[in-house]
Structure 1
């Protein structure tokens, strides 16, 4: 998982985007997107990269060139770019539809009807973000759903296990992904035991709390 802002990868911390700064990674020097992506691939055989284009989400110009380069390093690219529809970023492009970027339930439903998308159920410190209907009506969800707890991103409080359990209970076989708060290998094991299909990781990789051996044990 990487967050793009101002042409570089930034360190996401608890959803406070105004104070995000370029990432200082233990995996490589610098914060250039392609360099970070290559360092992640050297750490483990990740096939999918989730990218939050924070400029696009905020209504600014998206990182089109950077996204096209990133697509060359991964089999699949999941991109949350707010309301922007990106084309030409690669054959493995999947659009992530974040509820925080949905103006109302109807526009969210319309976007989901277009297909080939991943839904991100976004939660801030204040609670659910975006239309309540998209959070509550599981029958509207696509096959892959991210539970994004922004207040835990970049923190050390652990995943939001209660919210993940509640989402899994309503998922009806859909693949649920956890985002926010993963600290170590024990969190990965607990999430796997819950039935979580995958995890969006960043801070624990860059600061070394999760290493190659930990990832190999979980991935296969």
Structure 2
């Protein structure tokens, strides 16, 4: 099990993401870092011992304004960078791979072509992670035929394309502190056989949540609010072998 800190970036600052309500996001307040500089936050996480850092460039995702200079700076302070910058096409993804990004996260919310997604997975499945972006269990996508699918149906299609790694990101639970409930556990249990490496994000509140997800076969957990508020303590992660 890998525990992966998340840094959401908006207007050049690390922000606190809550329930996918992006217009209401405020600059980050954290017990981990007093800074809102995403590079400094990433550097602190790396110094703590986190090998993987996930960054969502919300300016790129929402406004198509990628922060190219930021990506190189982030890459210089983290061991493995997982980056979602709102890629919409094969070409967008290749720009990131050419920049040396370790793992390009392709969000269902923004990517515009299943054919191009298939082409990417056929060649770059080890470098590409598909994020199944959900709002109240509904897939977010500009592709109408994707929006009507269940999560398991979508993953089966992607598995046929060569999918190896996927994130299930429930935006309505992000920053909520709701924790992992029985319905979510049951859904995840049905999905783990469909992908080699399954990551979960949204609502993880405690070390117990992380332990439950590990037991049902989840490969990695994306976590932000619980770290910044101290609900998941660094000492507990170390004692459990996650750092």
Name the TM-score, length of structure 2 as normaliser: 0.81
| Corresponding residue SS for 1:121 | strand
- Cα distance, 1:135–1:88 mapped onto 2, change above 3 Å: closer
Judged with a 3 Å threshold, the aligned counterparts in structure 2 of structure 1 residues 17 and 136 are, in CA distance, closer, same or farther, namely: farther
Match of 1:219, SS? coil
1:25 to 1:78, Cα distance in 2 relative to 1, 3 A: same
Does 1:150 find its partner at 2:174?
Answer: no
Change (3 A) 1:142 1:104: same
Contact (CA 8 Å) 1:56, 1:81: kept in 2 or not?
yes
Equivalent positions of 1:155-194 (< 5 A) are 155-159=176-180, 160-171=184-195, 174-194=196-216
Q: CA deviation at 1:188?
A: 0.9
**Where do 5+ consecutive residues of structure 2 fail to align?**
1-5
1:64 is the counterpart of 2:68? yes
Answer yes or no: is the 8 Å Cα contact 2:137–2:170 preserved in 1: no
1:157 match: secondary structure: coil
Q: Distance in 2 between matches of 1:33 and 1:127?
A: 30
Aligned residue in 2 for 1:49: 53
State the SS of the aligned residue for 1:58. Answer: helix
Q: CA deviation at 1:162?
A: 2.7
Whose helix proportion is higher, 1 or 2? 2
Distance 1:141 1:153 in 2: 28
Q: Within the alignment, does 1:125 sit opposite 2:125 as a pair?
A: no
**TM-score normalized by structure 1?**
0.89
- Contact 2:83 2:101 (8 Å CA) reproduced: no
SS of residue paired to 1:79: strand
Higher RCO structure (Cα 8 Å, ≥6 apart): 2
Residue equivalent to 2:27: 22
Separation in 1, partners of 2:42, 2:139: 30
Residue of structure 2 aligned with 1:113, choices 119, 122, 137: 122
Q: Report the equivalent of 1:213.
A: 235
Shift, 1:185, TM fit: 0.7
Distance in 1 (CA, whole Å) between partners of 2:53 and 2:17 is 16
